[in-house]
C-alpha cells in the first residue's frame, strides 16, 4: 500500500515540533520553591544537642567564638549601695517652724537664730549655715533644701537658752525622726535674766558607818548635825553583803527639814535658773530594788521655811558589807537669801 505524501509530511512536522519543545525545556533555569515562614511562640527542639537561646548566633565550625555580650547591668558593690542608701535616707527636706518663749511664756522678739544643716549623702559631707530672726510673736521658720539634720541656736541680749536640746534629726536612719508641723510650732525656751544674786556652792563628800537612825545634813556648812539642817536621810538595808553578785533590796529616805523637794533631771538642772514656785513634796524614797548599789538623783530643794533654795545632785552608795562605809555626796548651789534666783549659774 502506498502512503500518501501528505501524511508523511504531517508526521515530520509533528516530530520536529516535539524535538523543539524538548530542547527549550532543557534550556530553562530550575526554579527553587519559595521559603515558607512559620511563626510560633514555642521553639522547636533540636535533636542531638541543646538549643541555643534566641538572639545568640550559631558559631560556624572553625571560627572564633563571638565576644560575650552582657545583657544586664553589673551588680552594685557595697560601697555604691551604701552611697545610694545614704542619699535615700539622709536627703530629707529641711523645714522648721518654731516659737521663742521666755520663762513666763512671753514671746522673745527679734532674736537672731543661727541654723546649721548637716548634709551627708553620696555627694557631700558638709554643714550649711543660715540665719533668721524671730518676729513680733516669737515665730520663725527655716527652710533649706535637703539634709540629715538641723541644729539651731537662738541669741538675744538679756536672754540665755533654756531648752535642753536644739538638735533635730530628719534622717530616716533614726527612730522617731523629727517631723515639722507648721500648725504646731516647736517651742524653744529662753531665760530672761533678772539679775544674778550671790550663791553658795555645795560640794561635800561623806563616808559614814551604816545606821538605821536618821542623819541630818547642813548643806550650807557641809556638816552632819544632830538635828535641823536641810536634809534628813534615813537608810534601810538588810543584813549581809550587797553587791552586783548579791543584790538585795535597800532604800534611802530623803526628807527636807521645814520644806520640800522636787525630783528633776540633769538637763533641767543645767538650764533652770530659778527655783520652782510650787510642786514641792516633803519626802522621797529612793532605792535599788535589787538593782545597782548606787543612787544618782537630782532635786530642787526648798528648806528652812523658804530661807534656802538649792539645786542638788545627790550620789549615794550603800555599804557593801555591814561594817563598811556608806558614800554620800552633795553638789550644786544654794541661794540663802530667801530668793529663788539661780542666775549666777548661767554659763559664761
Residues whose CB is less than 8 angstroms from the CB of residue 230 and which lie 6 or more positions away in sequence, other chains included? 217, 218, 219, 220, 256, 257, 259, 301, 303, 304, 308, 310
Residue 143 and residue 130: Cα distance in Å, rounded? 10
Counting residues of the chain whose pLDDT is more than 90, the rounded percentage is: 60
> What pLDDT does residue 302 have?
98
Contact 307, 338 (CB under 8 A): yes
Of residues 296, 288, 295, the one with CA closest to residue 238: 288
SS in 3 state form for 302-342?
EECCCCEEEEEEEEEECCCCCCCEEEEEEEEEEECCCCCEC
Residues of the chain with pLDDT under 70: 1-87, 287-292
Helix (H) or strand (E) run with residue 86 in it: helix 78-90
Residues whose CB is less than 8 angstroms from the CB of residue 120 and which lie 6 or more positions away in sequence, other chains included? 86, 90, 147, 148
Q: Compute how many other C-beta atoms are within 10 angstroms of the C-beta atom of residue 316.
A: 21
Cα dihedral sign for 297, 333, 255, 326? positive
Domain ranges of the chain: 81-192, 200-345
Q: In 187-291, which residue ranges form alpha helices assigned H by DSSP?
A: 266-271
Residue 311 and residue 261: Cα distance in Å, rounded? 9
> What pLDDT does residue 83 have?
63
- pTM confidence score: 0.69
> What pLDDT does residue 90 have?
87
Question: Model confidence over 71-109: pLDDT tens digits?
Answer: 555 565 665 666 666 667 888 999 999 999 999 999 999
> What pLDDT does residue 72 have?
59
Give CATH for domain 81-192.
2.60.40.10
DSSP 285: E
Using DSSP's 3-state secondary structure scheme, residue 81 falls into helix
> What pLDDT does residue 124 have?
84
Amino acid at each position: 500500500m502506498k502512503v500518501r505524501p501528505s501524511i508523511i509530511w504531517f508526521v515530520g512536522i509533528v516530530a520536529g515540533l516535539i524535538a523543539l519543545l524538548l530542547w527549550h525545556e532543557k534550556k530553562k533555569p530550575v526554579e527553587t520553591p519559595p521559603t515558607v515562614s512559620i511563626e510560633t511562640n514555642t521553639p522547636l527542639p533540636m535533636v542531638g544537642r541543646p538549643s541555643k537561646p534566641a538572639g545568640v548566633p550559631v558559631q560556624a565550625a572553625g571560627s572564633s567564638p563571638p565576644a560575650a555580650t552582657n545583657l544586664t547591668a553589673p551588680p552594685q558593690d557595697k560601697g555604691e549601695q551604701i552611697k545610694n542608701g545614704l542619699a535615700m535616707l539622709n536627703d530629707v527636706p529641711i523645714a522648721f517652724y518654731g516659737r521663742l518663749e521666755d520663762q513666763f511664756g512671753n514671746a522673745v522678739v527679734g532674736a537672731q537664730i543661727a541654723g546649721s544643716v548637716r548634709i551627708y549623702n553620696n555627694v557631700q559631707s558638709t554643714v550649711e549655715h543660715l540665719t533668721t530672726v524671730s518676729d513680733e510673736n516669737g515665730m520663725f521658720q527655716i527652710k533649706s533644701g535637703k539634709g540629715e539634720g538641723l541644729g539651731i541656736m537662738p541669741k538675744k541680749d538679756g536672754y540665755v537658752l533654756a531648752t535642753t536640746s536644739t538638735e533635730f534629726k530628719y534622717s530616716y536612719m533614726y527612730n522617731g525622726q523629727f517631723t515639722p508641723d507648721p500648725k504646731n510650732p516647736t517651742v524653744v525656751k529662753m531665760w530672761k535674766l533678772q539679775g544674778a544674786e550671790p550663791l553658795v556652792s555645795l560640794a561635800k563628800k561623806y563616808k559614814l558607818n551604816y545606821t538605821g537612825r536618821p542623819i541630818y545634813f547642813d548643806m550650807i556648812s557641809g556638816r552632819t548635825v544632830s538635828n535641823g539642817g536641810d536634809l534628813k536621810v534615813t537608810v534601810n538595808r538588810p543584813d549581809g553583803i550587797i553587791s552586783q553578785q548579791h543584790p538585795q533590796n535597800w532604800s534611802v529616805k530623803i526628807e527636807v527639814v521645814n520644806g520640800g523637794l522636787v525630783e528633776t533631771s540633769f538637763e533641767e538642772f543645767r538650764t533652770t535658773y530659778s527655783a520652782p514656785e510650787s510642786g514641792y513634796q516633803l519626802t522621797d524614797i529612793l532605792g535599788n530594788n535589787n538593782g545597782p548599789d548606787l543612787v544618782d538623783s537630782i532635786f530642787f530643794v526648798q528648806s528652812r521655811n523658804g530661807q534656802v533654795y538649792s539645786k542638788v545632785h545627790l550620789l549615794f552608795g550603800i555599804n557593801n558589807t555591814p561594817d563598811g562605809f556608806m558614800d554620800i555626796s552633795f553638789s550644786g548651789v544654794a541661794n540663802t537669801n530667801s530668793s529663788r534666783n539661780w542666775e549666777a549659774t548661767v554659763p559664761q
